[in-house]
Amino acid sequence: MHAIPLERPLIIPVYLSSPAFNLASMTSYNTYSFLWHIRSTAWDPERGGSVRDGIAETCWYLSQNTANIVLLLPRAGLCLALLLTFSSSQPGTLALADSGSIRRDRTFFNSQDGTLSGYAEGVLIANAAWAAWRTLVWLCAWYARYLRRLFGDQRFADRDQSIGLACGSSAGMAAPVFVVLVSGGRKRR
């Protein structure tokens, strides 16, 4: 038996890799619609999906945001540190503000007492809340994947390993397949 040459690349590595999925979705609206249509079929019972499959696919997609969370947490820590440091006035800052020698941007600091302005507090609270929300969603996705592996059907629990054997590493396969997908599916030599 010989292999049939494929004109188009496999979609599985792009579908399974969150970064490749997002990058491919940004190439055109048709690609975006196609990929989200595939993702939505996991929820549709008429197409062989179920709520359980939809939750599993969504948790798989959301659990790949580890790199985003790792980069988001230091920014959230800085936001909290700034909120705690400049939320109340300090005696040294009040003395400098009274003498007129403190020169802080009035967009971010009150000129009377050196505390954060309402705008600065709002931006910092929004950043910290966004980081907390993204971290919570990421943790819930990993927890749901863990519970599914622990208590789920064995056919679906081994999905990561069986797809990994069939397609290779999703990190190693996503970039070349994405290049071929963007180029219109033509073979590159």
Per-residue pLDDT of the chain (189 residues; tens, 9 = 90+): 566 666 766 777 887 888 888 888 899 999 899 988 888 888 888 888 888 888 888 888 888 888 889 999 999 999 999 888 887 766 555 555 555 556 666 667 777 777 788 888 889 999 999 999 999 999 999 998 888 888 775 554 455 454 443 333 333 333 333 333 333 444 444
Residue 69 sits in which domain range? 12-182
Q: Copy the structure tokens of residue 161.
A: 């390993």
Through-space distance between the first and last CA atoms of the chain, rounded to whole angstroms: 24
Residue found by looking up tokens 């540190």 in the block: 81
Residue 170 covered by a domain:
yes
Phi and psi of 64, rounded to 5°? -85, 5
**CB 143, CB 152: distance < 8 Å:** no
CA pair distance 180, 172, nearest whole angstrom:
14
Which among 65, 66, 69, 44 has a CA at the least distance from the CA of 54?
44
Q: List Cβ neighbours of 117 (8 Å cut-off, separation of 6 or more).
A: 106, 107, 108, 109, 110
How far is it, in rounded angstroms, from Cα 55 to Cα 50? Answer: 9
State the Cα–Cα distance between residues 79 and 121, nearest whole angstrom. 9
Residue 150: its pLDDT value, please? 80
- Please tell me the total count of domains within the chain: 1
5 located within any domain: no
**4 located within any domain:** no
CB of 19 closer than 8 Å to CB of 177: no
| 7 lies in some domain | no
6 within a domain of the structure (yes/no): no
Q: How many residues does the chain have?
A: 189
